[in-house]
Structure 1
């Protein structure tokens, strides 16, 4: 009989604790999945996410999530502004052509 420990909310701290136990070979993803009635793929997803985060932490200049988001948002706004200017210019050019043709 399996001892299932239902946890209603998996906080980042709880996930990190489980992942650290897996990294230290204290347990396996399969054992954790059985113990907490989760799927192995969920646990492996946590492990993958932790590995990506660690890789970012080891970089010479790690970017935090907020910095990455702000950078992507800034680039998106710039692209949107450029697209808006192109549309405005094309509409103006079209009006000028229409006026020229009707003259």
Structure 2
């Protein structure tokens, strides 16, 4: 961050474990502390291991709690999770129709 990074990321997401809650928690604490020291917001991108809607919600809760809701924007928080899309679409269908197909 001191070198000018706009974002920090867990990993490529291709190695396990990747975006576990403890790892993301440390990253969020780091960007929060950096903001406190400098006034500059740095983005966070957890990648890998976020496969379900429930996983994504857990990540959103962590962000909301630590550094705060101001980080819940696309320029400051992104989830790198190609496997997540299918689950999100299935959950949306379930909400609309009451059943999974």
Scaled by the length of structure 2, what TM-score is found? 0.28
Scaled by the length of structure 1, what TM-score is found? 0.28
- Determine which structure has more spread, i.e. the larger CA radius of gyration: 1
User: Which is bigger in relative contact order (C-alpha 8 A, separation at least 6)?
Assistant: 2
Structure having the larger proportion of residues in strand: 2
Structure having the larger proportion of residues in helix: 1
